[in-house]
Chains A and B, each alone.
Chain A
Amino acid sequence: AQSVTQLDSHVSVSEGTPVLLRCNYSSSYSPSLFWYVQHPNKGLQLLLKYTSAATLVKGINGFEAEFKKSETSFHLTKPSAHMSDAAEYFCVVSEGGNRDDKIIFGKGTRLHILP
């Protein structure tokens, strides 16, 4: 059975410093992995997606994530945080490659940016 764990419910960083949001998954098959961002009272927006191509995935707004099969991790990083990055971030896993595959959302990590 697949699952996804976001290891931190809240992360605070200073503006201009690196961001690391951690995500671990479990999956019996080759998963598709996503990171979505949600600003307050808004819908979710796709940041980036991994689907068994390059293990380092680049997304929008300077974010990237690395798929590490040996560690079952898909951590989200950004070299330098900006105030506009303050939001909630969701790691998502979809097992296999079929339309019937279940999609599992992590519980989210709220990113706070300190001035």
Chain B
Amino acid sequence: DGGITQSPKYLFRKEGQNVTLSCEQNLNHDAMYWYRQDPGQGLRLIYYSQIVNDFQKGDIAEGYSVSREKKESFPLTVTSAQKNPTAFYLCASSITGGPDTQYFGPGTRLTVL
């Protein structure tokens, strides 16, 4: 059963704590992405990776960090430097990137108290 999974679905953290969101895919895709979604703002790109051990900043990378040590995994850490971290976070993957179709995970809703 191929797909892309994100865990947990809901996450609560206290202000000032770092938190890591998981994203795993078994589609053998090279490219993976992290997006942040806020009401009325569409999706904004945080980071993306087109190959293992390489990743690029997106439009809103400040306060976030990622790693890509394995092809199937692309975890996102929301650090205490992120001023407004409460949001819905979506992970996606595609075969090679660019105009390829993106396949999305179910999302993680992060609430910082």
Q: Chain A residues in contact with chain B, CB under 8 A?
A: 9, 32, 34, 36, 41-46, 49, 51, 90, 94, 96-101, 103, 105-108
Contact = CB atoms under 8 A, between A and B. Distances in A.
Contacts of B50: 99-100
Contacts of B42: 90, 105-108
A25 B98 CA distance: 17
B86 interface: no
Contacts of B6: 43
A31 to B, nearest CB: 8
Contacts, number: 65
A101 B42 CA distance: 19
A99 B106 contact: no
Most chain A CB neighbours (cut-off 10 Å) among B4, B96, B102: B102
Given A41-B109, A44-B104, A99 B90 contact: no
Contacts of A108: 40, 42
Contact of A94 (B40, B90, B99, B107): B99
Interface string B6-32: 100000000000000000000000010
